[in-house]
Structures are given as C-alpha cells and as structure tokens.
Amino acid sequence: METMDGGWTAIQKRVNGSLSFDRTWAEYKNGFGSPEQDVWVGNDVIHQLTKENSSSLYVSITLQNGTTLYEMYDRFSVSIETEKYQLFLAGPATGTLGKCIQAKFLKLGDSMLITLPSNRELSGMYFSTPDRDNDGRDIGSCAALPNRRGGWWFNDCHYAFLNGQWSPGFWRRPWYPTVMSGTTVKETLMLIRRH
C-alpha cells in the first residue's frame, strides 16, 4: 500500500517460485494461488477491475541481490473472455525496468509497450495458455514452448513475460534486456490502481 502513494490491487505476485504458473486457460480465467504467496487473481477478475479503461499498471521485479526494478503504465485494461482477454496497454511508461537500447534495426526500451520490432509489442495481443494458442506467432504456440510454458499476452513471442517457469534455465527473458534469466529473479509483482 506504500508503493507510489498506495491504493494498488495485486493481480499477480510471485515470491519464491513454489507455485507453477504452467496452467490451463480455465485456471488463468478463474485464478489460482494465495495472496500471501504466489497468485494470479484471474482474468475474469482483472477484466472486471479494468473494464472502464481507467487503471494504471505497476510492474516490479526484485532481483536476488535485493534490487527492485519497476515500470508503470498510464493505462491498462483486459477485455472479456469472448475477446480472449485482449490486452490494452498505453503510456507513458516510466520506471527503471526499461533500458533504451538502439541498434541499426532495433529500438528497445519498455519491454511490453515497444514499437520496434512490432512482433514483440504486447498491447493488443490476446491471452494464451499452453492449452489455448492465441498468440501472434505463425508456427507453434509461445505458451507451450518448453522454455516459456505459462499464460501471457504473447506476440511472437515476448520481450516481457512474468509468468514463466521459475526453475533455473527454463524462464527466458522475464524482461528483456534488463532481466535476461529467471535465475536472477527473487520476486515479481503486477499491481493495478484506478485513476
């Protein structure tokens, strides 16, 4: 309640990796876990809390060394199940998770709301789980790949993915390029707050 002046509701929390986020569509729809430990509040609940498109999103990753990095988005909402829980995300995005890296054909900064390459943009994407492929990838399912298994708004596939497998060596790119491996992650948190 003290984060950025308080008033936040947790929709995702992972504190020790004891709970697998490799779950079905129905489990992500209804939610799983417990608020004291690891939790996904449920896509139906997230939709109800954000349907008026007047919520901000705060994402934080605490590293094993105790450093907490964050990114905050001005607008966040998720549509209903019949629309595959489509993600709407808008800036400005501010925080310490985004690094701006420029290369000849690539510009990265915020890993959820990026402009180039467009196949990594998450806003507008549908939610996918290992048993329900709704991603932007032409071949295969991002949510079912061995090194990505878990529910998320995948494109082709991701530069940000907070629900990956916690086991060392499996959780790739929780937040590219700032956090490249799940082995460095101690805790993740997604919070929403109405304007």
Would you kindly state where each structural domain of the chain is located, as residue ranges? 3-194
pLDDT at 109 over 70: no
C-alpha 119/C-alpha 114 separation (Å) is: 9
Half-sphere exposure of 161 (CA within 13 A, CB side): 32
What does the block give as tokens for 186? 């101690």
Q: Among the listed ranges 15-24, 35-44, 107-116, which one has the minimum average pLDDT value?
A: 107-116
**Residues 6 or more apart whose Cβ sits within 8 Å of residue 131:** 24, 25, 144
8 Å CB contact between 133 and 143? yes
Residue range 3-194 forms a domain whose CATH class is alpha beta
pLDDT, position 162: 95
Task: Outline where DSSP puts E strands in 64-171.
Answer: 68-78, 87-95, 101-103, 106-108
pLDDT, position 34: 94
Highest mean pLDDT among 43-57, 92-106, 161-175: 43-57
Please provide the size of the chain in residues.
195
pLDDT at 99 over 80: no
Average the pLDDT over 65-71 and give the result: 94
pTM metric for this prediction: 0.91
Sign (positive or negative) of CA dihedral 123, 71, 186, 5:
negative
pLDDT, position 168: 61
